[in-house]
Amino acid sequence: MGAPTEPGEITGRLRESLAVTLTHFPIVTGRLQKNDNDQWMIKCNDAGVRMLEAKAKGSLEEWLRNMDRDKELMLVYWEEMYHKPYFWSTFYVQITEFEDGGLAIGLSCTHLLADPTCATMFIKAWADTSFPGKIMSPPFFYPLPPRRPDNTRPNYKPYNSLINHYKASINKSIDLVDKKHTTVSFGFSDEMVRACMEMAQPNGANDKLSPSPFEALAGLFWVCISKVKGMRNELIDMSISLDVRKVLGLDKGFFGNGTVYNKVHLESFQENSLSQAATSIGEVVAKMDNKGIMDLIEWLQCNDDQSPSLMNNCDLICASLEAVDPFLAIFEDGIAPIHVSCYIEPVLGLGKVLILPAKPGDGQLSRVVMVTLPRDEVTKLCETDLILQLSPTILMDLNKT
C-alpha cells in the first residue's frame, strides 16, 4: 500500500477501524481453552488481538525492490502458544509505516481457527470498515454440515482415500532437520499460464480435458522440484491442499479452516512428463468431492485425539489459494494492495508451493507461485528447463539482499 500522509496518521485510523471490525469477529478476539473432553474450543470474549506498530526506513517501493523471505517476514509478528494458552493471542496484526511513504499490514493466525481464505476475508472486512464504513460480506460462524442420515447405517462404507491419507500422516515422524529455507516468487502472466496448460495437456486430448491453471502449475513445479532433488524417472512425494468451501456448499463468508489435504499418486513417470503429473493432480482434485470430505470430517470428529498436529510433514505441499483474492481490500483514501504474499508455516519435509491469483489487470489466468525450499535448491529450481521455457518474472528471490 502506498499513499503519503503525516507520520502515524494512517496507523491511528487503521487502529480505530480495526477495533470496529473486531466486534464482528468474536472468534478472532477470543482465547483457546480445553473443554471437558480435552478438545480445543474458543472462548469468545473481548481479550482482543495483539497489535504491533513498527517503523521502517526508506519507502515501500525500495523495500519491494530489495525484498527476500527474511525481510518480508519482519513485517509479520507471531508468538508460539504459551504454556497457558488462555493468555495467548491467536491472531496478531502488525502495521509497518515506511518513513518515505508506504504501509505494510501483516496478519498471522493459528491453523486451529483459520486458513488463508479467512485471513483474506478479515483484511477485506477491515478495509470495508474503513471505507465505505460497512462490511460488505459479513463472516458466518457456524459448524460444518451435520452428519448425513445414510452414514448411520451399520453397513455404510466411508470413502477411505482421504481418511487413509490422514491416518498415514498420524504415523509419520516429523522431519526436524534444520535447513535454511528461502522463498522465491514467480509471476506467471495469462499467456504463460495458458502455455503451461497446453504443455500439460495429454496428447490427443480435447479442450474439455485440459488441466486447470492450478493443475498445470502444480504439475510444473512437482516435476521441476523433483528434478532439483535428484529424481529422474520418478517424482517426490507430494500432497495437495485445497479450499473445500465450495465443494461442501458453504457460504463464502464461512469463517474457519476449510483446508483439506490429499496425496497425489503416480505409479510410473517419464522424465519431464508434465502431462502425466498434471493429470494425476487433476484425478485427485476430482476425487475430493462432498461425500469424501464429509466422511473425512466425521472420521476426524470421532478420532480427535489422534488428529495430527501437522499435516503432510514429510511431503512436498502444493496449496491452491486461487479462491483467495486479497486485492479486493481497498482501504480509505483508495489505499490498495500493490504486493501480497502468503506463508503457511512451519516449512517441514520437502518444501511448499503456494499458487495465488496475481494482481488485477495481469489477465484472468495470471498467477503468482511462491516456492519455499532449502536455499541451495531454489537456485537450481530457477535454472530448470521447463521454468526457463515459460520465462516467468521472478518477483522475490534469494539474490535480492
Does 118 reside within a domain? Answer: no
Does 177 have pLDDT greater than 60? no
Does 136 reside within a domain? Answer: no
Do residue 192 and residue 246 come from a single domain?
yes
Do residue 305 and residue 247 come from a single domain?
yes
Please identify, among 86, 113, 140, the residue that sits at the C-terminal boundary of a domain. 113
Do residue 200 and residue 335 come from a single domain?
yes
Does 120 reside within a domain? Answer: no
Is this structure's pTM higher than 0.85? yes
Largest CA distance in the chain: 69
Do residue 77 and residue 171 come from a single domain?
no
Listed range (180-184, 233-237, 300-304) with the worst mean pLDDT: 300-304
Does 251 have pLDDT greater than 50? yes
Do residue 52 and residue 170 come from a single domain?
no
Does 128 have pLDDT greater than 60? yes
Does 52 have pLDDT greater than 60? yes
Does 277 reside within a domain? Answer: yes
Do residue 181 and residue 69 come from a single domain?
no
Do residue 69 and residue 197 come from a single domain?
no
Residue 269: the pLDDT is 75
Does 78 have pLDDT greater than 70? yes
Do residue 177 and residue 100 come from a single domain?
no
State the residue range of the domain holding 89. 9-113
Does 326 reside within a domain? Answer: yes
Number of domains in the chain: 2
Listed range (159-168, 176-185, 187-196) with the worst mean pLDDT: 176-185
> Tell me, what CATH number does 39's domain have?
3.30.559.10
Do residue 40 and residue 163 come from a single domain?
no
Who's near 186: CB < 8 A, 6+ residues apart? Answer: 368, 369, 370, 371, 387, 392, 393, 394, 395
- The percent of residues in the chain predicted with pLDDT above 70, rounded, is 89
Residue 203: the pLDDT is 79
Do residue 64 and residue 210 come from a single domain?
no
Who's near 143: CB < 8 A, 6+ residues apart? Answer: none
Residue 401: the pLDDT is 44
Question: pLDDT confidence of 374, banded at 50, 70, 90?
Answer: very high
